[in-house]
Amino acid sequence: MHVMILGGAGMLGQKLAQALAADATPPARLTLADIVVPKVQAAPGMMVEALALNMADPAAAPSLMAARPDVIFHLAAVVSGQAEQEFELGYAVNLDATRALFEAIRALPGYRPRVVFTSSIAVFGAPFPSRIPDDLRPSPRTSYGTQKAMAELLLNDYSRRGIFDGVALRLPTLCIRPGLPNKAASGFFSNILREPLVGLSAVLPVPDSVRHWFASPRAAVGFLRHAATMDLAPLEAWRVVNLPGLSATVAEEIEALRSAAGNAAVALIRREPDPFIEKIVHGWPSEFDAVQAHALGFKAETSFDQIIQAHLEDELGLPSHSA
């Protein structure tokens, strides 16, 4: 089995690669590709390759697909806030490079890999119901959401034609993201927990009443791995899944932080309103039915206490964090 992770240097790509390498039966070959050389971790006997390339380069996708990987995790993307601010770059990476990848697969006779594409709840834009049903049509209100929705349609059509066996996963916002803040409009959801947990200050740009849809990076790795091997027949003609998650307000996040690390940690959060961020986030949905995803076997956390606990265990090496 040859597994390829596009966007392999990113947080999720790295966690996925580590999980695959730690398997009792890891893939025989693992390729990670990104704009910078990804870090790699190999199991004994595993062939690992790390490549630096730009997916927006027309030569990138054909060179990658020449290896005919069995499973392709397409995680590479320009994130939400950056895609809104850098219009051409967002379309070049999130849409044009995705189609180039699909076309590179189509150009190889007899080749039909499993393609797992990370989409986003940003494909939905206001107005929408308070709880999103599985059959609600996409109505993005950002360039990022539009790019993801267009890529979903491409994946669906290429799968329908038998070019590859694809599935698009609409990820909740991942929290708590480890590492440094990025340009995602949703980044503050992680920042206001991650930094205070280690004694650093963080900025909250939206009101405490903002409600959103979350899952941990640990859950996201589980989503991806399940999608790589699951039976896609129940999806029939529409290869897109609204994933399960946790609906919570910023205030509920902060109370979970207080429970885990005390009032001193909460005091490190500075409220600095940012109309640009607030406008984007208010246009995203905050709760999903995810009936289909649950029936297909996808699982996520059910409380913010669990999300914080996963971060403490996975990133800080702690079984718990007391005040």
To the query of whether residue 158 is one of the catalytic residues in this protein, the response is no
Catalytic residue among 91, 111, 144, 158: 144
How many other C-beta atoms lie within 10 A of the C-beta of residue 264? 11
Residues in the chain: 323
105-110, long-range: CB within 8 Å, 24+ apart, which pairs? 105/65, 105/158, 105/163, 105/164, 106/158, 106/163, 107/62, 107/65, 108/65, 108/66, 108/68
CB-based contacts of 43: which residues, under 8 Å, 6+ apart?
A: 21, 22, 23, 26
H-helix segments, the chain: 11-21, 60-65, 80-85, 87-91, 97-106, 143-160, 188-197, 217-229, 250-261, 263-266, 275-282, 291-296, 304-315
Q: Nearest 5°: CA angle at 183, between 4 and 266?
A: 115
As a whole number of angstroms, the distance between CA 210 and CA 278 comes to 9
Output phi, psi for 4, to 5 deg. Answer: -120, 130
As a whole number of angstroms, the distance between CA 101 and CA 58 comes to 9
As a whole number of angstroms, the distance between CA 35 and CA 12 comes to 15
Output phi, psi for 26, to 5 deg. Answer: -70, 160
Lookup: tokens for 275 = 């109309």
240 CA to centre of own chain: 14
As a whole number of angstroms, the distance between CA 320 and CA 218 comes to 16
Catalytic center residues: 144
